[in-house]
Amino acid sequence: MQRDDLRREMLAQRDGLDIQRRREMASMALQRVLALPQWKASRRLLIYANFRSEMETRGLMAAALEQEKQVCVPQCLVESRALVPRQIQALKDLKSGAYGIPEAGEDCPALEPGELDLVVVPAVVFDRRGHRLGYGAGYYDRFLPRCPRAFRLGLGFSLQMVERLPEQAHDVRLQALATEKGVVYFDL
C-alpha cells in the first residue's frame, strides 16, 4: 500500500475511535510512559501537543511539570518546516499555532534540540521496526537528527501499528513505542 493511502486509511480508523475509549487508552499509555526508565532519567523533554484524534498528551505534560522536568512543546515554523522546542511552565502556555496544532508561543524560551533527553513523537502509522509515518510534511524527520542524545519515543494507539512501512532515506527510527497495550522497544 502506498504511503498516502495508508495514511488516509489509518486516520479514518483513528478518527473512528470513540472519544471515551480514546481517553481510556491514552490513560493506559500514559501510565506505561511514566514507568519507563528513560522517562524517569530524563530532565528535558519535548512532548507533542495532540490535536484531532491523536493520543492525548496534556496528562503527560502535567505529570512532567509536576516532576519538575523541563517540558518543551514544539513550535512549527511553516516557512522553514522546522520545529523549535519551546519550554512551557504550565499547560496554559499552549496556544493555537500552525495547522491549528497547540504549541508554545514565541514568549516561551527555546531550547537547543541537542539538550533534550527524551522526545515524545506522534505519528499516523508506526511499524514493528521503529519507523513512523506522519502527516507528510517531514517536520520530525528533520528535527530528530538534531537531538542525538534524546530517547525517541513514539506514542500512539495499538491500532496504528502495522508490520512494515515503506522506507525512505530520510526516515529516523524510533527507539520505542508506547501504546495502551504496552511498550515495544526496537533494535536499532
User: In the structure grid, which three cell numbers stand for residue 115, read together?
Assistant: 539538550
* Of 63, 87, 64, 65, nearest in space to 75 by CA: 87
Q: What is residue 3's three-state secondary structure?
A: helix
Q: What is residue 176's three-state secondary structure?
A: strand
Spell out a b/e string for 12-21, using b for 16 or more CB atoms within 10 Å of the CB, else e: eebeeeeeee
Residue pLDDT, tens place only, 105-135: 889 999 999 999 999 999 999 999 999 999 8
Residue 188 in this model has a pLDDT that exceeds 80: no
Q: In the prediction, which pLDDT does 172 show?
A: 87
Q: In the prediction, which pLDDT does 54 show?
A: 96
Residue pLDDT, tens place only, 50-95: 999 999 999 999 999 999 999 999 999 999 999 999 999 999 999 9
User: In the structure grid, which three cell numbers stand for residue 155, read together?
Assistant: 506514542
Categorize the per-residue pLDDT at 1 as very low, low, confident or very high, splitting at 50, 70 and 90: low
Residue pLDDT, tens place only, 130-176: 999 998 888 999 999 999 999 999 999 999 999 999 888 888 899 99
Kindly list the structural domains of the chain, giving each domain's residue range(s) and its CATH number in brackets, ordered by start: 3-185 (3.40.50.10420)
